[in-house]
Structure 1
Amino acid sequence: MKDPLQDLIQAYHELNAAVVEELWEEPSALEFMRYVAKNRPFVVRQAAIDWRAVERWDAGYLRKEMAGKEVNVAVTPLGNADAVVESPSGSKIFVEPFETSEPFDSFLDAVQASSSKGANDTSNARYAQTQNDNLRNEYSSLYRDVPADIPFARIALSQPAEAINLWLGNDRSVTSLHKDNYENIYVQIRGQKQFVLMPPIEMPCVNEQLLGKGRYATTSEKETQARSDEELIIERDANAEPVPVAIWDPDLPNQNPTPYSHLAQALRVTLQEGDLLYLPSLWYHKVSQSVGEEGFVCAVNYWYDMEFAGQHWVTSSLVRDVYWEEEMKVRYPDLDLDEEGSDEVD
């Protein structure tokens, strides 16, 4: 008997090229909506080259505009914020970063100093990544240097951006494979970003597991601060609901695979300064980065709420449900899945 999930993934790849389409001018609202309807990414080279942010955001300008302001900083030992970490006992846990507030000057100093040390740096990694509309809030003095919206997206989606976020760090910070319920317009300001992308149909490939949650914490008495050389520990959150997390990495294909992982055809794209990426909703993405001349990397993204009506959300949910039913049959062969509520799994 044929495997319907395998057939589905293979059929998708037969109909969709394993490339991120490159454009050299922004699409119209109608053209953009066609990509949204197909749920396919594209990159517009040099779309933002004339933005004030691309023209002005060097270290000196950022320090001047952010003088005296405190910012939220994610601190991790290895740049692995919001990532799966293996405990000494061998169990996996989804760990969020330690968060601290510090003057922007100090934060940028630490990022640049870390970059200058390169691979020899053993200090805690720092990253601005609050994802809470921070460019219109804690970085509001920089907001005037970017468009208030992306016109083709606002018109096509009939809504303004839900959030506009600034991301600032260095090479050490890597965002592990995950997905978001947003249509994402991502613009590179300084340095480079390397994206690894996987469509929602490849959910059976990424080995999503329900994991407990934890958070990095400082061992010092001052719980709101963390020195660069201070050891961070993981504190489990016993009250948190388990969260579904992808534990397969397309860059490490032989670790934690599923029977479907070999079918994945991950797309790869590098953003240069001024490039714009459309990252469709529910696409899995892993992001690494390379600093610019001044030892930091910086980007801005616009999040637009995805449309839950239509087929996109329910189709993705169906793929997940079918995969998990098959997974349960393998893990618990004696479990009766035909009678609703007849068995429960801890």
Structure 2
Amino acid sequence: MESDSTAPALSDALAELIENYHELNASTIDELHNEPSPLEFMHYVALNRPFVVRGATSRWTATRKWNAAYLREIMRGQMVNVAITPLGNADSPVQITSGDREDTLFVKPLEVQEAFEDVLEYISKQELEQRDGEIKYAQTQNDNLRGEYTPLASDVQDIPWVRIALEKDPEAINFWLGNSRSVTALHKDNFENIYCQVIGQKHFVLMPPIEMPCVREKELPGATYAQNPESGKLEIKLDEESNTVPFPTWDPDVPERSTTAFSKLSRPLRVTLNAGDMLYLPAMWYHKVSQSCSDEGLCCAVNYWYDMEFAGSFHSLCAFERSAALQIS
């Protein structure tokens, strides 16, 4: 902890940093109606600012053809990894109560292998028939479109203006399939992210890296959902290794809880992607994601991760601000 005289000055400096950022940057997300050139894209990368391209993937085979029948046919017999949670909260902070004590854990989903057509049917019927029960989400985030979802890979396209600008191919291309029960908790990634909505809608809440002091990051003990062998219900089990995970615990949709002195300075940006829309989500931006389904009870997207550039000052400055914020939290 800093001394009593240093902490207020550091706090004032961090508050001024956040306020200055908002004075100099728009409170909305740019919407484009044509894909940018590589040079135009690099302008946004340099500024570390998001944008949406409406209808960018409307001509992709995926956007035109993917529905329940098509996906079932192309993926028939394929085994896929499925994340299972009780509340649709994979990789999220979860509060647990033990006696008079409350703890927050970082809880990962139970992961199982299931036939794709069974997963598809379960996700769809749960949404359409409002069934209770466990929430299933295909979301392995491990370049799965070029792995277990290879039969679908030819239905999406290369994004030349990104490849040319960044001078690299994507590190991972990921397929996501779920229903409206799944919500991705506020977090950040060390990737330049191109997110393409194919079926249904995605609703993003975005916060720039400069707002790190707002999110009350904590070192959370790791845990995983597991199935009780007797009841069959999901329960939380602490990981055997004693590692902790640094993770935000402030939710911009519940702004009065788990606040810091800086949370009131946050100005979250909100955007909805429809089928055919594309979002550039810059590296290190915090994002929380919820979703709405098509009339078949499905929400499906594909995203491209490109390694961020760690050289230069951006990553070092983010790390410095994080260290300063943690000193006074």
TM range (shorter): over 0.9
How far residue 151 of structure 1 moved from its aligned partner, in angstroms, is 0.7
Q: Which secondary structure state, in structure 2, belongs to the residue aligned with residue 100 of structure 1?
A: strand
Residues 281-313 of structure 1, C-alpha deviation per residue, up to 9 Å, x if partnerless?
Answer: 000000000001111100000000000001110
**Corresponding residue of 2:115:** 103
How do 1:34-113 and structure 2 match up within 5 A?
34-89=43-98, 90-113=102-125
Q: Which secondary structure state, in structure 1, belongs to the residue aligned with residue 56 of structure 2?
A: coil
Find the partner of 1:130 among 136, 140, 161. 140
Structure 2: distance between partners of 1:196 and 1:47: 21
Residues 12-57 of structure 1, C-alpha deviation per residue, up to 9 Å, x if partnerless?
Answer: 0000011111000010000000100000000000000000000010
Structure 2: distance between partners of 1:205 and 1:86: 20
Output the amino acid matched with 2:147. Answer: N
TM-score (norm 1): 0.90
Q: Which secondary structure state, in structure 2, belongs to the residue aligned with residue 91 of structure 1?
A: strand
Find the partner of 1:258 among 251, 257, 260. 260
Structure 2: distance between partners of 1:62 and 1:323: 46
Equivalent pair of 1:72/1:99 in contact (CA under 8 Å): yes
Structure 2: distance between partners of 1:325 and 1:132: 34
Structure 2: distance between partners of 1:49 and 1:207: 39
Find the partner of 2:153 among 138, 143, 155. 143
How far residue 220 of structure 1 moved from its aligned partner, in angstroms, is 2.3
Q: Is 2:168 aligned against 1:165?
A: no
Output the amino acid matched with 1:136. Answer: R
Number of residue-to-residue matches in the alignment:
317
TM-score (norm 2): 0.95
Equivalent pair of 1:164/1:302 in contact (CA under 8 Å): yes
Equivalent pair of 2:193/2:283 in contact (CA under 8 Å): yes
Q: Which runs of 5+ in 1 are unaligned?
A: 222-228, 328-346
4+ aligned runs moved over 3 Å, structure 1: none
Equivalent pair of 2:84/2:136 in contact (CA under 8 Å): yes
How do 1:1-346 and structure 2 match up within 5 A?
3-89=12-98, 90-118=102-130, 121-147=131-157, 149-220=158-229, 230-327=232-329
Residues 213-269 of structure 1, C-alpha deviation per residue, up to 9 Å, x if partnerless?
Answer: 000001128xxxxxxx94101110141421111000000000100000000000000
**Corresponding residue of 1:343:** none
Q: Which secondary structure state, in structure 2, belongs to the residue aligned with residue 315 of structure 1?
A: helix
Q: Which secondary structure state, in structure 1, belongs to the residue aligned with residue 35 of structure 2?
A: coil
Output the amino acid matched with 1:66. Answer: M
Residues 147-198 of structure 1, C-alpha deviation per residue, up to 9 Å, x if partnerless?
Answer: 1x21111111110000000000000000000000000000000000000000
Structure 2: distance between partners of 1:31 and 1:254: 38
How far residue 326 of structure 1 moved from its aligned partner, in angstroms, is 1.8
Residues 189-210 of structure 1, C-alpha deviation per residue, up to 9 Å, x if partnerless?
Answer: 0000000000000000000000
% identical aligned pairs = 54
How far residue 325 of structure 1 moved from its aligned partner, in angstroms, is 1.5
Q: Which secondary structure state, in structure 1, belongs to the residue aligned with residue 168 of structure 2?
A: coil
Equivalent pair of 1:124/1:230 in contact (CA under 8 Å): no
How far residue 277 of structure 1 moved from its aligned partner, in angstroms, is 0.1
How far residue 122 of structure 1 moved from its aligned partner, in angstroms, is 2.1
Structure 2: distance between partners of 1:166 and 1:240: 31
Output the amino acid matched with 2:287. Answer: H
How far residue 324 of structure 1 moved from its aligned partner, in angstroms, is 1.2
Structure 1: distance between partners of 2:80 and 2:120: 10
Q: Which secondary structure state, in structure 2, belongs to the residue aligned with residue 88 of structure 1?
A: strand
Structure 1: distance between partners of 2:168 and 2:243: 32
Structure 2: distance between partners of 1:78 and 1:323: 31
Equivalent pair of 2:213/2:263 in contact (CA under 8 Å): yes
Structure 1: distance between partners of 2:32 and 2:232: 45
Output the amino acid matched with 1:9. Answer: I
Equivalent pair of 2:50/2:282 in contact (CA under 8 Å): yes
**Corresponding residue of 2:3:** none
Structure 2: distance between partners of 1:142 and 1:215: 30
Output the amino acid matched with 1:137. Answer: G
